[in-house]
Amino acid sequence: MALPPIPAVDGPLNLHVVYPSSNQLLTVRDSNYIFGSTGTGLARLRIDGADVPVLPNGAFLAWLAVPAGDSPRYELLATRNGLDVSLTVPVRFPATPVPLPDTGRLIVDRGSVAPSGTLGLRGDERVRVSIRAPQNANVALKLSDGSAVALTHGAGVAWSTEVLARDLAKAGTIVVHRGRDTVSVATAPVTQMDVVPRRFGSLLNSDVDATSDTDQVSILRPTLGGTYKWLLFPKTVLEISGMRGSSFRMRLDSQLEAWVDSSAVQSVAATAPAPRRTASNARVSVAAQWSDLRIPVTEKPAYQVDVSGDALVLTLYGTVSNIDIVNFATNDPTVRDVTWDQAASDRVRVTVHLRHRVFGWLALWDRGAFVLRVRHLPAVDASRPLAGRVIAIDPGHPPIGTTGPTGLYEADAVLAVGQQLRAMLESRGATVVMTRTARGAVALGDRPITARRANAEAFVSVHLNAYPDGVNPLRARNGTNTYFFFDQAEPLARAVQRGLVRNIGLPDMGINYDNLAVARQSWMPAILCEGAFLIVPEQEAALRDEGFQKRYAAGIVEGLEEYFRSLAARP
């Protein structure tokens, strides 16, 4: 299916660069893309002396060498009927490391020394000690007891070694020697976490977008600055097992630790006892739209919920089980049974076996009990699969978002698609919840909250794609893809992707598992669609066309119909 033709624009010269913007910080130094508009399709354009094609609507997209020199800048010249318009776009690059010559006065990069800043580890953990120094130097770490450890030379001017944290209980000194010159630089000391008194912290709400909702969570990561992994209840008390900069390492149980921003932790009084968590007899109760597994636990635990087809696997960290009885309701349409095992001495794994594939779930803490709320399947009429459904539509952005060559802003384009989508869904009997209906910004965290409060049965976030620096958009694959996070949303992602590819007609780039904020909600299948690449001029022009907006919306509708029809076929 072809894209709509690009309309011809015969206007005055109006040379404008969308990307890079003036003084943009580029992350590559060899080649990169530049795009914008000349204001007319009848212009001739040269950038840094190279001819650049101009599309009928005035848009251009080029892949060029990145400007060099002390003041790098793109030089553009647009010409039409003897009239010239020029434009200069300065750009920036990340600061280059301090040069370290092999001759002359000995120079080392003092800012590269590690460890530096706040660092707390157990004594038997290993610490990387490193510095940038000339290749022809000799480098050693002098410890507080007078012993020395040689640093080895790696790529470029990197020197490093590893020592035990206990060796740096007092600051060490990196000594760099070449000829008659010697430079000494102190490392930071390492706090010995297994020597100092044990410290505990109470988690605070770290999702600033959810401060007014019961969806408040404390976010923990497997690595410093890494992806979100554990979304825990605020006021969960955990031991602080390490420190690095402005982050704490928290002990979930004897086998697992995670990192959290120290601003999201409140110190617990040193006299407070260490938390002891025991899970006891559980029961499953049935409500109109869900079933609750209620497990009394002596204190809030760190936890993880994993979806596996027709089962939910709940892991309670730092917990022992004393579950002897699990009581079940006789009329439960969703939960078949519950089993548990003590996966480790302080880790309990509870498996909730369902009568069908997982549809939605929530983790709650209620008056001394961990509650895993499991959503029932909706009753679907296969002949009218969207009738009676509640669908949340999230036109992505603002804030942020990408912009096309002629200035089409992603948030405006996807709002137009969202409005078409709303009309199509309502014509099929669905109730539609829009996370935004105007151009104003909506906080990222508020979007899934809106859907959950409306008890939506599916959540679709509508977006448009772009490329990072260093990817050639004239050669790179571009098309349509769909994202999901929880396993329960994978069937919806596949169905919508099929519908989008059929209707939009761009290449099928598949579906992706991705830890995206709007896809992390668990109460309903949640997906994010990237229907087209807004920075590609032909696709930006198509997105201004109402017929193409309807094609994008129709693809999502077809996918939703396919997904809910599959639910109607389940026993």
Q: Same domain, yes or no, for 397 and 543? A: yes
Task: Average the pLDDT over each of 13-27, 177-191, 270-284 and give the range with the smallest value.
Answer: 270-284
Backbone angles phi, psi at 527, to 5 degrees: -135, 165
Q: Residue 334 maps to which CATH number?
A: 2.60.40.3500
Q: Same domain, yes or no, for 459 and 561? A: yes
Q: Same domain, yes or no, for 429 and 499? A: yes
Q: Same domain, yes or no, for 406 and 530? A: yes
pLDDT, tens only, 408-458:
999 999 999 999 999 999 999 999 999 999 999 999 989 999 999 999 999
pLDDT at 556 over 60: yes
Residue type, 331: N
Can you give the three-state secondary structure of 26-45, one letter per residue? CCCCCEEEEEEECCCCCCEE
486/362 Cα distance (integer angstroms):
12
pLDDT at 186 over 70: yes
> Domain containing 541: what range?
390-568
Alpha helices per DSSP H over 405-489: 410-427, 446-453
pLDDT, tens only, 126-159:
999 999 999 999 999 999 999 999 999 988 899 9
pLDDT at 213 over 70: no
pLDDT value of position 205: 74
Q: Which of 217, 232, 267 is the endpoint of a domain?
A: 267
97 found inside a domain: no
Please, which pLDDT band fits residue 216 given cuts at 50, 70 and 90?
A: confident
Tokens, residue 570: 């389940």
Sole residue written with tokens 């109730």:
431
403/540 Cα distance (integer angstroms):
9
pLDDT, tens only, 286-337:
999 999 999 999 999 999 999 998 999 999 999 999 999 999 999 999 999 9
Q: Cβ neighbours of residue 258 under 8 Å, at least 6 residues apart? A: 220, 221, 222, 229, 230, 249, 250, 252, 302
pLDDT at 210 over 60: no
pLDDT, tens only, 113-124:
999 999 999 999
Q: Please give the model's pTM, rounded to 2 decimal places.
A: 0.94
pLDDT at 214 over 70: no
Q: Same domain, yes or no, for 71 and 130? A: no
Backbone angles phi, psi at 310, to 5 degrees: -105, 30
Question: 393 by DSSP, 3-state: which?
Answer: strand
Biggest alpha carbon distance in the chain? 89
Q: Among 360, 570, 382, which Cα is nearest to 459's?
A: 360
180 found inside a domain: yes
Q: Same domain, yes or no, for 405 and 553? A: yes
Q: Residue 184 maps to which CATH number?
A: 2.60.40.10
pLDDT at 405 over 90: yes
pLDDT, tens only, 253-298:
999 999 999 999 999 987 777 788 999 999 999 999 999 999 999 9
Q: In what order do the strands lie in the sheet with 24-25?
A: 24-25, 83-92, 73-80, 44-47, 50-52
Backbone angles phi, psi at 388, to 5 degrees: 85, -5
pLDDT value of position 260: 96
Backbone angles phi, psi at 565, to 5 degrees: -65, -35
Read out DSSP for 549-570? HHHHHHHHHHHHHHHHHHHHT-
Residue type, 313: V
Q: Which of 38, 62, 92 is the endpoint of a domain?
A: 92
pLDDT value of position 345: 96
pLDDT value of position 273: 78
pLDDT, tens only, 447-483:
999 999 999 999 999 999 999 999 999 999 999 999 9
Q: Which of 148, 176, 192 is the endpoint of a domain?
A: 192
pLDDT value of position 271: 74
Supply the Cα-derived Rg of the chain in whole angstroms: 29
8 found inside a domain: no
Q: Same domain, yes or no, for 316 and 371? A: yes
Q: Same domain, yes or no, for 204 and 187? A: no
Query: In the chain, what percentage of residues exceed pLDDT 90?
Result: 92
